[in-house]
Amino acid sequence: MVVGGSVSVSISVSKPTSSHLHSSNFPRSPHHNSIPSHGTTFLLRPQNRRQCAYTFKLRCSAVSGKAAETKKKMSSGPSGYEIENLTSWLLTQERDGNIDAELTIVLSSISLACKQIASLLQRASISQLMGSQGIINVQGEDQRKLDFIANEIFCNCLRSSGHTGIIASEEEEAPIAVEETYSGNYIVVFDPIDGSSNIATALTTGSIFGIYSSDYQCLADTDDDELTLTQKEQQCVVNVCQPGNNLLAAGYCMYSSSVVFVLSIGKGVLSFTLDPMYGEFVLTQKNIQIPKSGKIYSFNKANYQLWDENLKKYIDDLKDPSGKRHSSRYIGCLVGEIHRMLLYGGIYGNPSNIKSKKGNLRLLYECAPMSYLVEQAGGKGTDGLRRILDIVPDEVHQRVPFFIGSPKDMEKLEKYLA
C-alpha cells in the first residue's frame, strides 16, 4: 500500500502479426477506463495461447515527496554510505600535491606498524608478553617486552618502506641510519609505546611519531677512512635534531576501546578509526578543532609538593570551588591525555620539579609531534616559557617541561608562570 506521493503507470503493447486476435477476447476489468487507485493490483491475462502475441507491461511506482527529496540529495553529492580509508585519503593528498609519493609510503608504513602493535596489545596477556624484558633502556627505565617488540616492528616497517633515511626511537641510544636505502629522504622519530606501564592493566596506550626531511644523506660512505664512527653518528644526530617547526607530518595511534590514528600533514588534524571488519583505518573526523577552553586539567598531582610555587598557585586556582569548576583527570599516557583534550579541551602538564629539573618528557619524539598536532587544531604547546616548536634539540633524548592545551587555558597558565 502506498500513502501519499504520485502514481505513474506506463503500458507498452507489442502488436501480433496475426489479425485473428481481438481485444474483446480479453477479460475486461470493471475499472478498465480508470487508473487503479492506491493499493490496487491487476493482471492482464490472455484467454488462449494465440493471444499471447500481445504483451502488456505494467509499471506502477509511487514515490513520496520525502523520498524524492532524499534521492535528489544523494544524487547531487557523495553517498551517505561512502567511506574513506587512510590509504585512499593519502593517495588523494598525493594527487592534490600536498604530499609526495615517498611520504605517502612512509605514512602507510607507520599505519601498518600501528596495526601490528594493536594486535599484539590485544593478545598481550594470552601471548605472555606482559612484564619486563630484563633490560634497562637508554632512558634508565626498565624496558618491557612490548616496548622492545614494538620498537622492532616500527623499525622493520620503516626500513621496508625504502624511503626512510634515519630512524630515531625512544628505545634506541642513537639514531639509526637505514642501510637498505641510500635515497631515503625522511627522518622518522617515534615513541613505539607511550604509557607502557598501562599494558598490564589493559588501560590506554599509544604510539607517537613525527616526520622530518633530511638536509643531506646521513648514511656515510663506509669506505671513507677519514670519517670515524663517532663522526658518522654525529652527522645523524645533527640531522635528526631539528625544531618542531620543521615537521612535515606528525601523529599518534591510540590503543584503547578502539584503535584511533590521528594525523596532520600541516593542513588540519584528522582522525581515522581502525575497522576490525576489514583491517583498515577509516576516516571518522575531519578538521578537528580543540575547544577554546575546557573543564579538565591533567597533572600528576602526586608531585605537587615538588613543583614551582607559581605552578602550585595555578593548580590551587583550578581547584577553587568559587571559580570555574574544573575536573582532574590523569591516566599516565600522553596519547590518551592529548586525545581527550583535542575533543573536549582543557590543559595537560608535565612540569619540571625538584627531582627532575629538566622535565620528564622527550622533546624530539613526544613533545614536538604533539605540539604540532595541537597547534594544527588551534591549541598551544610550551615549556612554560618557550613555544615547543621553536626549541632546537641539543640531543636526541633531550627532556623538557611540557604544557599543552586549549588557547585560553594556556594563556591563564602563562600568566601564573611569567
Q: Which domain holds residue 132?
A: 86-285
Q: How far is CA 173 from CA 3, 139, 140, 180, 203, in A?
A: 73, 8, 11, 20, 28
Q: Tell me, what DSSP letter sits at residue 387?
A: B
What is the CATH number for 90?
3.30.540.10
Same domain, 162 and 45: no
In a domain, 309, yes or no: yes
d(CA 33, CA 52): 22
Same domain, 364 and 312: yes
Same domain, 405 and 300: yes
Same domain, 251 and 366: no
Q: ∠ at Cα 294 (292, 300), nearest 5°? A: 130
In a domain, 354, yes or no: yes
The pLDDT tens digits of the residues spanning 372-409 come to 999 999 999 999 999 999 999 999 999 999 999 999 99
User: Which pTM was predicted?
Assistant: 0.77
Backbone phi, then psi, for 344, in 5-degree steps? Answer: -115, -5
Same domain, 51 and 179: no
Higher pLDDT pick, 297 / 27 = 297
Same domain, 257 and 128: yes
Same domain, 254 and 382: no
Which of 261, 285, 309 marks a domain boundary?
Answer: 285
Q: How far is CA 274 from CA 85, 87, 177, 279, 296, in A?
A: 9, 12, 31, 6, 27
d(CA 51, CA 406): 80
Which three three-digit cell numbers place residue 353?
620539579
Nearest to 167 by CA among 116, 209, 227, 119: 209
- Amino acid letter, residue 210: G
What is the CATH number for 372?
3.40.190.80
The pLDDT tens digits of the residues spanning 245-286 come to 999 999 999 999 999 999 999 999 999 999 999 899 999 999
In a domain, 62, yes or no: yes
Backbone phi, then psi, for 273, in 5-degree steps? Answer: -115, 135
The per-residue b/e assignment along 317-327, b for 16 or more CB within 10 angstroms, e otherwise, is ebeeeeeeebe
In a domain, 81, yes or no: no
Same domain, 219 and 145: yes
Same domain, 176 and 37: no
d(CA 390, CA 285): 28
pLDDT attached to residue 63? 45
Same domain, 67 and 93: no
Q: For a pLDDT cut of 70, what percent of the chain falls above it?
A: 71
Same domain, 249 and 342: no
In a domain, 332, yes or no: yes
Q: How confident is the model at residue 83 (pLDDT cuts 50, 70, 90)?
A: confident
Number of independent structural domains in the chain: 3
Handedness of CA 353, 300, 288, 412 (dihedral sign): negative
Which of 232, 256, 285 marks a domain boundary?
Answer: 285
In a domain, 290, yes or no: no
In a domain, 1, yes or no: no
Which of 254, 285, 316 marks a domain boundary?
Answer: 285
The pLDDT tens digits of the residues spanning 86-122 come to 999 999 999 999 999 999 999 999 999 999 999 999 9
pLDDT attached to residue 67? 53
Higher pLDDT pick, 360 / 6 = 360
Higher pLDDT pick, 30 / 203 = 203
Q: Taking residues 296-301, what's their average pLDDT?
A: 96
User: Which residue carries 475499472 as its cell?
Assistant: 31
Where helices occur in 330-398 by DSSP H, the ranges are 334-344, 368-376
pLDDT attached to residue 75? 45
Q: Does residue 36 carry a pLDDT above 70?
A: no
Same domain, 13 and 51: yes
In a domain, 376, yes or no: yes
Higher pLDDT pick, 80 / 214 = 214
